[in-house]
Amino acid sequence: MQKNQAVQRNGITEGVIWQQLLLFFFPILFGTFFQQLYNTADAMIVGKFVGKEALSAVGGTTGTLINLLVGFFVGLSSGAAVVVSQYYGAGQEDQVRKAVHTSFYLSICGGIFLMLIGEVFTPAAIDMMGVPEEIRAYSISYMRIYFLGIIGNLIYNMGAAILLAVSFPFLGIYNGGAALFRAVGDSKRPLYFLIACCLTNIALDLLFVIVLKMEVAGVAWATIISQLVSAVLVMVTLMRSKESFRFELRYLRMDRLMLAKIIKIGLPAGIQSMMYSISNILIQANINSFGTDVIAAWAVYGKVDGLFWMTMDAMGIAITTFAGQNFGAGKLDRLKKGNRVGLVMTTIITAILGGFIIIFGHGLSTLFTSDAAVLEESIKIINFITPFWFCYVCVNVYSCTLRGIGDAFVPMLLICFGTCGLRVLWVLIAGLVCPGLYTTLVSYPLSWTITSIGFIVYYYRFSEMRKINRMS
């Protein structure tokens, strides 16, 4: 089988495994960092210059609701990334082109749908979560403006997944394109795009909030304008490319067979993401009952905790792409070794990051608020949850390897019922017996541990990797 020249250049199917994973991981990590910086910068600026009520709105409740809808389409985009990476690894250029254009068609349609849903149902969703009255107006304002720009985000993420997946109208374009870039081993250009639009977002945050006094509405407008910038950068790059993943408007259509393949792999990831979000929404609604100080502290923790999750996402993307390309190229021994190397690397990275967060947690928290009560509570939450991050490592590595080879349904069930379902049951049952914030927080390490055990059993005893592991 003739190898694609791009695959030879990036070394995913040829080079030293740990080096190639790191070379792919770091650009994605930095890119994810800058994408995370969108909302982090929003939270920092409103927390410092508007108040803890604005911080609670931007950093807490709105984030969980946005992730519910956006996460589903980002999950679908992971299906596109896997399909593209497999065809690209196998050198099937016609199939790559069909997958790319079907993915973008899906991103655009998904972005329009999400925009309409967000605009219509935002007030009802905010009220259902029991948001305190002093936060309600801020939350509605932020979400409605944010959803206006969701197409750009989805298009970037889809493009980044090719030069990885699908995400909002302006937000959707960027996310889709970035996913496609990454699927073929190009993780650097999405990083450059994100740096540009992140700097744009910060500059506009400062202008709209500090100079023009637009408060929460200002950071929302800054976010969607910067997402438009990222979407444009991705589309221009894909349209100018000479590779098989080149975007041409004349080919923009839905290929039913390709769509079915994308959905088969991506739908479980989308449902999985939604289940995460639903469980987090229920937890957020529970936390909302403890008052504004706790809501703000949880929002601060969410931004600090985001360092861990963006690291897991970056390593997960690297492992999924590595698995997809090597599976497509028929290099099964390399696929097995990649999983083991990924597990060791993820464990080491988690240890380093966890130590950093525990040591510097107070300093990081002060970036978002100066309120003494909020700071005290946020440090308690950080010190309680961070040591348990190890419990999630197996979930991340095994699920991403399995998704890369197209085995996505059972991993989705394991995460939905293990991580998400168990978490909800714990909050509902244990919360009644012993109500309190830390009873709620125990749900995280408990669900991670049980789900990790489930993945270890499935991976070695029942999954598609069981057959591959026997081919030694």
**What amino acid occupies position 264?**
K
Q: What is the pLDDT of residues 214-224, one digit of tens each?
A: 988 898 899 88
- Best CA proximity match to 324, nearest among 257, 410, 407: 407
Mean pLDDT for 313-330 is 85
Q: Give the list of residues 6+ apart from residue 14 with CB closer than 8 angstroms, or none.
A: 7, 8
234: which strand partners? none
Looking at residue 37, its pLDDT comes to 72
Looking at residue 172, its pLDDT comes to 42
pLDDT greater than 60 at residue 2? no
Burial label for 401, CB within 10 Å (0-12, 13-18, 19+), is buried
Structure tokens at 269: 């990831």
175: DSSP letter? B
- Domain map of the chain by residue range? 14-469
Task: Report helix, strand or coil for 372.
Answer: helix
Residue appearing with tokens 């985001």 = 306
Cα(384)–Cα(225) distance, integer angstroms: 37
pLDDT greater than 60 at residue 43? yes
Mean pLDDT for 418-431 is 86
pLDDT greater than 60 at residue 185? no
The sign one gets for the Cα dihedral 233, 234, 236, 241 is: positive
Cα(370)–Cα(345) distance, integer angstroms: 36
Cα(239)–Cα(205) distance, integer angstroms: 30
The sign one gets for the Cα dihedral 168, 174, 177, 178 is: negative
Least confident residue range of 59-73, 257-271, 306-320, 438-452: 59-73
pLDDT greater than 60 at residue 1? no
Structure tokens at 29: 């990590």
Q: Mean pLDDT for the chain?
A: 81
- Best CA proximity match to 126, nearest among 104, 147, 151, 98: 147
Looking at residue 165, its pLDDT comes to 29
- Best CA proximity match to 299, nearest among 275, 283, 314, 322: 283
Task: Report helix, strand or coil for 237.
Answer: helix
Q: How confident is the model at residue 173 (pLDDT cuts 50, 70, 90)?
A: very low
Looking at residue 356, its pLDDT comes to 95
419: DSSP letter? I
Cα(63)–Cα(233) distance, integer angstroms: 25
pTM above 0.75, yes or no: no
Q: What is the pLDDT of residues 394-412, one digit of tens each?
A: 999 999 999 888 887 888 8
Top-confidence residue, 357 or 182: 357
Cα(66)–Cα(114) distance, integer angstroms: 10
Looking at residue 82, its pLDDT comes to 75
Structure tokens at 318: 């690297």
Q: DSSP letter string over 48-98?
A: HHT-HHHHHIIIIIHHHHHHHHHHHHHHHHHHHHHHHHHHHHTT-HHHHHH
pLDDT greater than 50 at residue 63? yes
Top-confidence residue, 352 or 82: 352
Looking at residue 443, its pLDDT comes to 92
Q: Which own/partner contact pairs does 91-95 have at CB distance under 8 Å and 24+ positions apart? A: 91/1, 91/2, 91/3, 91/4, 91/7, 93/4, 93/244, 95/258
- Best CA proximity match to 163, nearest among 134, 186, 188, 192: 186
CA of 394: how far to CAs of 312, 316, 317, 444, 454, in Å? 11, 11, 15, 15, 10
Structure tokens at 407: 């085995």
Residue appearing with tokens 């989805």 = 154
**What amino acid occupies position 218?**
G
If one counts every other C-beta atom within 10 angstroms of the C-beta of residue 289, the result is 14
Q: What is the pLDDT of residues 236-246, one digit of tens each?
A: 877 887 776 77
Looking at residue 9, its pLDDT comes to 45
Q: What burial letters (b/e) apply to 325-338, b meaning 16+ CB within 10 Å?
A: bbbbbebbebbbeb
Cα(164)–Cα(80) distance, integer angstroms: 7
Residue 58 main-chain phi, psi, to 5 deg: -75, -40
Looking at residue 347, its pLDDT comes to 96
Structure tokens at 176: 């889709």
184: DSSP letter? T
Distance of CA 72 to the CA centre of its chain: 10
Q: What is the pLDDT of residues 134-167, one digit of tens each?
A: 888 888 988 888 888 888 777 776 776 665 422 2
Task: Report helix, strand or coil for 124.
Answer: helix
Indicate the helix (H) or strand (E) that contains 178: strand 178-178
* Cβ–Cβ under 8 Å, residues 177 and 155: yes
Q: How confident is the model at residue 355 (pLDDT cuts 50, 70, 90)?
A: very high
Looking at residue 396, its pLDDT comes to 94
Top-confidence residue, 427 or 91: 427
Straight-line distance from the first to the last Cα atom of the chain, in angstroms, rounded to the nearest whole number = 22
CA of 119: how far to CAs of 49, 144, 146, 202, 326, in Å? 27, 5, 9, 25, 42
Indicate the helix (H) or strand (E) that contains 355: helix 332-365
Q: How confident is the model at residue 177 (pLDDT cuts 50, 70, 90)?
A: low
Least confident residue range of 252-266, 343-357, 360-374: 252-266
